[in-house]
Structure 1
């Protein structure tokens, strides 16, 4: 069995190896300009998500497709989203980001939102893409919450349950309970308060319009002072869980690491302030399909390096290298009984 845990080749600039500096730096730097075309994808339950296609798109219908899932309250405008979509687009890939329900330009229709284990919408999207681009190779990446969701989906679906050649998981909180507790400690509470503020703003909008079936008023919402409390009162009851602990247990992808059959790259920093130290020592051993790269530094979706005489995102460089390693599929999905998808390199 080959070694599945490797040291990432990320090196922070001198003086910029602090976890919080790395986490916050991307928000302070210019983001690459990137045009987009927005498409509404209708869902089977009557709700919708927005697809953000990097523009211009390749003319070739067989051009490979890069699908990106953002983190909690992220969007097309998140720094990592711009960098990763731009990197894929520059390589000639058809790049698209799916806004989770309510994260796009309009509130979603139904009395619900999205959560870390909500795989159904991504599954529907992959089916849509399989029909639309049947001969195109497809690779998906998920960042933070989106990474946990993606890993859970590929573990549940097995090696041939999706029209997907591979997955990339970045800074994912694979132990949701431990991550919620970590975010309620020390300086990390700054991030927790920022996320709570964004989440509460959306919930208040719907509460004011009697659009959520929750026994919660504006004052009760304002008094929620942790993500765990929010998940217990809002996320869990909206999505059929029996409280925050039940949600964390059932939605965490970490326990499924040994079940992954699809080629999957996981990128993680040991100093990520959203998660406990040595996160992967607490989780089951990854399956042979998983290539785990852990950096000593990097923060949460930070990984800023000094390159070309300026600060640049190592993540964009690492993902570009990963996308370059893939070859075209020999046959269209789902007929994978013949030659299998292959990639060179790592």
Structure 2
């Protein structure tokens, strides 16, 4: 059977009338609670590290994981149904646990007794990673490592997973590749995931706002990090092409694709896209995309025939990219975590 298609609207404010305003206002001005985390650094098998930011009721945030933290969380998980639930939250391109969506989602679930952990893609936690490589939109191997790490820490937890934007695409790709072996997850969600990277990447390179606001924002930090890597690893990165990249197509062709084992940017964007793998997902999964998302408009979104019967495709007309602002001025970010909670509870 095909996926279930949900077109229920997100009630965005009338004064945020289209995708750009909804995206920008949500990321810059909408109100949300602020969450502090406890950080755990985990070494990877290839000699790098990944930083995991943890939060849960009943422990004080600090600079690093304290002895006995996971024992306390495991003990708390035996006291109520809510505290047995955990959420792994994967951030988007150049995001972190400080991103607006990560803060809003983490606070919502922590306030309801859940343990929440935000693993950072390599180089996104505020400190350069150790290798020439970084992260990419189809990094399902690192998704698998992060999920396995979390599961090892708290094996009795009822784990859920959510990925936003780039993290959503990588999570959905992992779920499609893993099939039934990902069945230990209770449920998952991809939010504003650019499931068609070829379409999304080209769209971000066109138009005044896409090219000069979003692309400029991403390239500012991506290029700075990559050129710093080039100084640490001479001869491994084409610094001229990276420095001169004018959009994500040129940046990914110069650095992301060759560094992470792809022939070129077209090979990367094709092989890393999660859309062809939605039909293979075997875990209850919400795929939430606003049809006015300026990063991937509605005409490129999957239809019900392209996903498995374990997938709910929710495609409201409004919401922007990783935004979904609602309520009175200056709006709030409550709708997105509430939508996730409904799906995790009901499967719809």
In the superposition, the TM-score normalised over structure 1's length comes to 0.88
Confirm or deny: 8 A CA contact 1:64 1:136 kept in the other structure: yes
Partner of residue 303, structure 1: 324
Gaps of 5+ in 2: 60-72, 79-83
List per-residue Cα deviations over 1:171-219 (Å, max 9, x = no partner). 00011011011001112112011111110010111123335612324xx
Structure with the larger helix share = 2
List per-residue Cα deviations over 1:292-326 (Å, max 9, x = no partner). 1001011111110116x861221122123234x1x
Is residue 193 of structure 2 the alignment partner of residue 193 of structure 1?
Answer: no
Partner of residue 127, structure 1: 148
- Deviation, structure 1 residue 155: 0.7
Is residue 54 of structure 2 the alignment partner of residue 39 of structure 1?
Answer: no
- Deviation, structure 1 residue 144: 0.4
List per-residue Cα deviations over 1:86-112 (Å, max 9, x = no partner). 111111110010110000121111110
Partner of residue 92, structure 2: 71
In terms of mean alpha carbon deviation, does 265-274 or 309-318 score higher? 309-318
Alignment of 1:193-232 (within 5 A): 193-210=216-233, 213-217=236-240, 220-232=241-253
In 2 relative to 1, CA 29–10 (structure 1 residues): closer, same or farther, beyond 3 Å? Answer: closer
In terms of mean alpha carbon deviation, does 121-130 or 43-52 score higher? 121-130
Partner of residue 339, structure 1: none
Partner of residue 312, structure 1: 332
Whose relative contact order is higher, 1 or 2, with alpha carbons under 8 Å and at least 6 apart? 2
In 2 relative to 1, CA 181–283 (structure 1 residues): closer, same or farther, beyond 3 Å? Answer: farther
Alignment of 1:14-93 (within 5 A): 14-26=14-26, 27-56=28-57, 58=73, 59-61=75-77, 63-93=84-114
Give secondary structure in 1 for the equivalent of 2:338.
helix
Is residue 138 of structure 2 the alignment partner of residue 147 of structure 1?
Answer: no
In terms of mean alpha carbon deviation, does 100-109 or 282-291 score higher? 282-291
Alignment of 1:243-322 (within 5 A): 243-280=264-301, 285-306=306-327, 311-313=331-333, 314-322=335-343
- Deviation, structure 1 residue 4: 1.1
Give secondary structure in 2 for the equivalent of 1:142.
strand
Gaps of 5+ in 1: 326-343
In 2 relative to 1, CA 310–228 (structure 1 residues): closer, same or farther, beyond 3 Å? Answer: closer
In 2 relative to 1, CA 205–3 (structure 1 residues): closer, same or farther, beyond 3 Å? Answer: closer
Give secondary structure in 1 for the equivalent of 2:331.
strand
Q: Distance in 1 between matches of 2:339 and 2:235?
A: 41
Aligned length: 324
Q: Distance in 1 between matches of 2:16 and 2:22?
A: 7
In 2 relative to 1, CA 280–79 (structure 1 residues): closer, same or farther, beyond 3 Å? Answer: same
In 2 relative to 1, CA 84–285 (structure 1 residues): closer, same or farther, beyond 3 Å? Answer: same
Q: Distance in 1 between matches of 2:151 and 2:230?
A: 37
Confirm or deny: 8 A CA contact 1:8 1:294 kept in the other structure: yes
Is residue 185 of structure 2 the alignment partner of residue 169 of structure 1?
Answer: no
